[in-house]
Chain A
Amino acid sequence: MHLRHILRALGRHRIAAGLLVLEIAFSCAVVCNALFLIGTRLERMQRPSGVDETHLVEVGVRSVTPGTPEAVMAQTRTDLARLRALPGVSDAVVASPIPFGDSVSFSGVSLSDDAKAPSMPVAQYFGGVQLARTLGLKLASGRWFTPDEFVSYDALQGGASGVPVIISRALAQHLFPGQDAAGRTIYAFGANRVVGVVDRLVQPRDYGAAGDYRYAMMFPVDLPYSRGTYLMRVDDPARRQAVIGQALQALKADGPLRLISPRYATTLEAARAKYYVNDRAMAWLLVGVSLLLLLVTALGIVGLSSFWVGQRRRQIGIRRAIGASRRDIRTYFQAENFLIATGGIVLGMALAYGINLVLMRHYELGRLPGYYLPLGAIVLWTLGQLAVLGPALRAAAVPPVVATRST
């Protein structure tokens, strides 16, 4: 078309055109990176925990008057029987820690019993007989714990030997690459035989490098309620709140003075939402900032295009008078905007890449995937065309008679 003319005309407005190019470039760079950050946050928030979250509720009970360990354990068994008897509850267990809970605990794991052998910290879960069933975990290989394998917490800490362990598949692949981990031995609490590998089990909270999130292990431990949290599996997710209420009542019904409060009782879904609340806030903030940025950029385009239209009224009139159609005038401004946007986008891509490199150095962030660049380009081209539409239509409406007037 008449690209050559457009370029020559832009050459007469170098400063203004340059500013628009820079503004678009900056927007493009920031928006590309913001979209990428939003993507990583969403991805993080959607990481599965491997646990059947929709069916789980948790109720924490704090002990007040210390009883003998035997008495606390007996109380725990009574509580569990009551909780399992609640309508709609299929399993209940005391576990520690719980997914998305406040605490996380680690043990050093090595592949030899030499105290000098290199060890890596691995997140651990302790829980009673129904742990795996309550959590709804899926076995990848090996078997579950058998009821006779469960030991007391003090026995485990006190060096009970031969306690079996179930580990997550990611951990199994890390420790025994290319082999079946079931049947092998790891050293955490003395020697622990790996009896099973679960498909997925993650740290209760993020800790350490992002890649470590999928490393976790479970030990068969009968915990007293004072050392853990009651987890219950509810058949019908709609009844979770009702079950929490009934569980609190059932626990209050007997036993010694204890802290039993709705504050420590929640669904696992709510716990997950609470855990990721910062990520969600950050994602929304990035969405808001990106939209504002695009708005400001659009305002800039509208402003400058209007100025150019006003400045060129006479030329437009002349062009109209010598035969250009309204469509010609409109497409002229649209093509001009397309050229400027393209310039901005090309520059913006380089800038986006540069910003990403800086972010990668300072934050735990990956490389900007290639598809964000065309995505950003399409967004800014569309934005430019939308913003210029008003001024371009106004330009097209300039009557040819303007050519005969002096200003």
Chain B
Amino acid sequence: MFTYYLDLALRSLKRNKVLTALMVLAIAVGIGASMTTLTIVHLLSGDPLPGRSSVLFFPQLDPESPVSQGHTQPYPMMDYRSAVDLWSAHRADRQAIITSSSAKVRLPDSGQPPLMLGLLSTSADFFPMFDVPFQYGSGWSADDDAHRARVAVISAGLNQKLFGGADSVGRILRVRDTDVRIVGVLKPWRPTPLFYDPWSQNFSKTEDVFAPFTSSLEINQGNFQPYTCWHVPKDPRDMVHADCVWVWLWVELGSPAKVRDYARFLDHYADTQKAAGRFAVGSERVRLRDLMTWLTARGQVPDDVRLQAWLALAFLVICLFNAVGLLLAKFLRRSGEIGVRRALGASRGAIFAQCLVEAGVIGLLGGFFGWVLTLLGLWLVRHQPVDYAHLARLDTTMFLATFALAVCTSLLAGFIPALRASRVVPGWQLKAL
């Protein structure tokens, strides 16, 4: 029966090519526009560390004192003292202290001009905590952190640029004026969004050089930029003693009990500091958010993208109304034929099913062209000057979603017209023939 309906549907679609084309076009355009934007939203709200994001937490507190006007949320970073206090307390399963800056880097005695690169200063736990993949070597040890070892890990991109992709572990790199030994080379690693750095653009690349925080303080002294300060630093090169936020922390907490304990520890720390007069606000400004919650709070999906998604959905709704109107016209134009089939014994249900099959076929066609339009739309997005441009590709989920959306849309659109067609009174139509 289904194949017969399919045959009827195809015949009917062929009969009025202009109307069919209009309907397919309307659905395709609606699908193309909404799938392009929905794909972007889907990609942007993705989890950068699936499976691990639920145990990673971003602690925040507010060291500003006195609190300036309009400042109601803690900064995404801390002052040096608070960060180091929390880090060295070792209350979490793992903890990484982080700050980013830029630094001049070159190969000693190579004669090549120096490069200005991003330098991420962090601690040993960074690499296992974030599942950072290594091509050669490994990260440094907690011992290296303690002894301010002159070591570094470099990105795959920098390894390609400086060493042509060869195993460069053991080679020497000059960061500003200090020679450091390369202990590890990363595989290409680009977490999207770049979750660990509250300073970065959401979709920028990782830094090229990673070095122990304790060593960086000496190597890159005077080159750290504050996120913000609430007092003018006496010496702008000395961030360690300045009233500025520029360091942050990520912690790994394996169980809900540990999360509760850590939250209590943070509250206690903030309250103690407030009591000591160093903070103006205590535990009321403490935050401990897991990775995905933090990303949402940070505004991971840009406003413009969300606006575009709503626009595209409105577009789809209009295409839906359009399809309903056109299907109605199409089915009712065949009232005579439907009358004959009803008179020959077809039930209302059969007519209804036949009409829905026809709507479904239109939906599939619309889905196909909608898919083509989605690819075109994503291609356009890739050529936009936005930082997430490189992400704009269709994955399997969204590919299937395209067709599901198209067929659902057209079946929904076909429902009322099919119902209306199945109510055609055979007698009237036969008389008119």
Contacts and interface: CB of A to CB of B under 8 A. Distances in A.
5 contacts: A16-B329, A26-B321, A64-B113, A300-B26, A307-B330
Contacts of B321: 19, 22-23, 26, 300
B317 A26 contact: yes
B70 interface: yes
Given A158-B234, A296-B26, A19 B325 contact: yes
A107 B233 CA distance: 12
Interface stretch (B79-87, B118-126, B302-310, B358-366): B302-310
A26 B318 contact: yes
B384 interface: yes
Contacts of B33: 289, 292
Interface size class of A (residues with CB under 8 A): 35 or more
Given A159-B232, A285-B308, A304 B326 contact: yes
A27 interface: yes
A300 B303 CA distance: 31
Contact of A281 (B22, B29, B330, B386): B386
Among B30, B228, B319, find the residue whose CB has the most chain A CB atoms closer than 10 A. B319
The 6 closest A-B pairs by CB, nearest first: A307-B329, A23-B321, A300-B322, A19-B325, A303-B326, A118-B69
Contacts of A23: 318, 321-322, 325
Among A15, A34, A62, A407, find the residue whose CB has the most chain B CB atoms closer than 10 A. A15
B332 interface: yes
A286 B310 CA distance: 12
Contacts, number: 127
A390 B233 CA distance: 74
B311 A286 contact: yes
Contacts of A115: 66
A155 B328 CA distance: 79
B315 interface: yes
A338 interface: no
A120 B69 contact: yes
B25 interface: yes
A407 B325 contact: no
A30 B311 contact: yes
B68 A307 contact: no
Interface of B: 19, 22, 25-26, 29-30, 33, 66, 68-70, 104, 113-114, 116, 228, 230, 232-236, 303-304, 306-308, 311-312, 314-315, 317-319, 321-322, 324-326, 328-330, 332-333, 384-386, 416, 420, 432-433
Contacts of B30: 296
Interface in A310-331: 310-311
B213 to A, nearest CB: 22
Given A121-B68, A157-B232, A159-B232, A292 B315 contact: yes
A304 B70 contact: no
B116 A19 contact: no
A189 B329 CA distance: 74
A259 interface: yes
Nearest to A107: B232
A161 interface: no
Contacts of B306: 362
A26 B314 contact: yes
A359 to B, nearest CB: 8
A307 B332 contact: yes
A275 B362 CA distance: 44
Contact of A62 (B26, B116, B235, B304): B116
Interface string A274-314: 00011001100110010011001101101110110011000
Contacts of A289: 33, 311-312, 315
Contacts of B386: 278, 281
Contact of B384 (A19, A30, A257, A281): A281
A175 to B, nearest CB: 13
Among A64, A107, A289, A303, find the residue whose CB has the most chain B CB atoms closer than 10 A. A303
A108 B325 contact: no
A8 interface: no
A293 B30 CA distance: 9
A58 to B, nearest CB: 18
Contacts of A302: 22
Interface string A154-167: 10011100000000
A116 interface: yes
Given A64-B104, A277-B385, A281-B384, A304 B318 contact: no
Contacts of A303: 19, 22, 322, 325-326, 329
Given A15-B420, A23-B325, A106-B228, A299 B22 contact: yes
Contacts of B304: 278, 282
Contacts of A20: 325
Nearest to B319: A296
B66 A116 contact: yes
Contact of B68 (A15, A64, A108, A189): A108
A292 B328 CA distance: 22
Contacts of A293: 315, 318
Interface string A169-211: 0000000000000000000010000000000000000000000
B329 A304 contact: yes
A382 interface: no
A157 B114 contact: no
Interface in A109-134: 115-116, 118-121
B158 to A, nearest CB: 17
Contacts of B311: 30, 34, 286, 289
Contacts of A311: 332-333
Contacts of A30: 311, 314-315, 318
B340 to A, nearest CB: 14
A281 B385 contact: yes
Contact of B26 (A116, A299, A359, A407): A299
Interface string A17-53: 0011011001101100010010000000000000000
Contacts of B308: 282, 285
A363 interface: yes
B385 A299 contact: no
Given A34-B311, A285-B308, A300-B325, A307 B333 contact: yes
A371 to B, nearest CB: 22
Contacts of B113: 64, 257, 259
A119 B113 CA distance: 45
Nearest to A114: B66
A286 B311 CA distance: 9
B385 A278 contact: yes
Contacts of A62: 116
A86 B160 CA distance: 41
A363 B304 CA distance: 9
A375 to B, nearest CB: 18
A304 B325 contact: yes
Nearest to A209: B70
Given A23-B321, A292-B315, A15 B232 contact: no
A121 B230 CA distance: 10
A15 B228 contact: no
A320 B40 CA distance: 56
A189 B231 CA distance: 10
A209 B116 CA distance: 33
B118 to A, nearest CB: 14
